Amino acid sequence: MDSRRDTILAFLKTRGHASLGDVAAHLEISKQGALRHMEALEADGLATVAPAEEHRRGRPENVYTLTPAAHSHFPHAHQELATDLVEFLSEAQLKQFFERRTARLEAEYAPRLAGLDFEGRVRELARLATEHGHMAEVVELAGGGLAIRHCNCPIQDVAARTSLPCANEQQMYERLLGAPVTRSTWMREAAGDCTYEVKERGGKVG
């Protein structure tokens, strides 16, 4: 898959849906150029287009969404290994495995967050999560604070069977950010994303 197509798929995955203008603006190309890419995705069965339910006065705008077939194009690097772990390891062994995995990630992340202010830590942590396949974005909360929204889970099949990696991840975020973290949506409960809400407690960590 070429990089432009990869970028469009990631954009639609994160946004949920987007107009042709949104895609063109994101790619920094003309609408005609964006249309060629979208038509190719439609032809390959990876995207579908339909009129927007709500629109301003004027010509109705179409919106694009991903098809179920598109999800095979996103990172799922550890599925086979982690599924075997769930099948063959005891609960105690699984707990130890995911704790060690989280400790390794935390040791990798901590130096990248050191010295940053609260917002900087949140945004850097989202970038790190994206590097590990989560396709994360930072969202500003209406009541104050920030949220890290994961739009993809590299081990979603495993997370659906055991909450251990998710619980460890949430605890790691709390330690790295120095603030309470609340999960408001969870793919394990059939949501389209996992959202971790964070409210600054004050002071710097790292």
Angle between helix 91-113 and helix 118-131 axes, rounded to 10 deg:
120
Q: Which domains are seen in the chain, by residue range?
A: 3-73 (1.10.10.10), 79-198 (no CATH)
The pTM score is 0.61
Residue with token string 């790619």: 27
Across the range 23-36, mean pLDDT stands at 90
Q: How far apart are CA 120 and CA 8, in angstroms?
A: 26
Q: Does the pLDDT at position 182 exceed 90?
A: yes
Question: In sequence order, what are the beta bridge partners of 185?
Answer: 195
The reported pLDDT for the residue numbered 162 is: 83
For the stretch 33-54, pLDDT in tens is 899 999 999 998 889 998 876 5
The reported pLDDT for the residue numbered 69 is: 80
For the stretch 92-121, pLDDT in tens is 888 888 899 999 999 999 999 999 999 999
Beta strands in the chain (DSSP E): 18-19, 47-51, 62-66, 136-140, 146-150, 181-185, 194-198
Q: How far apart are CA 87 and CA 97, in angstroms?
A: 14
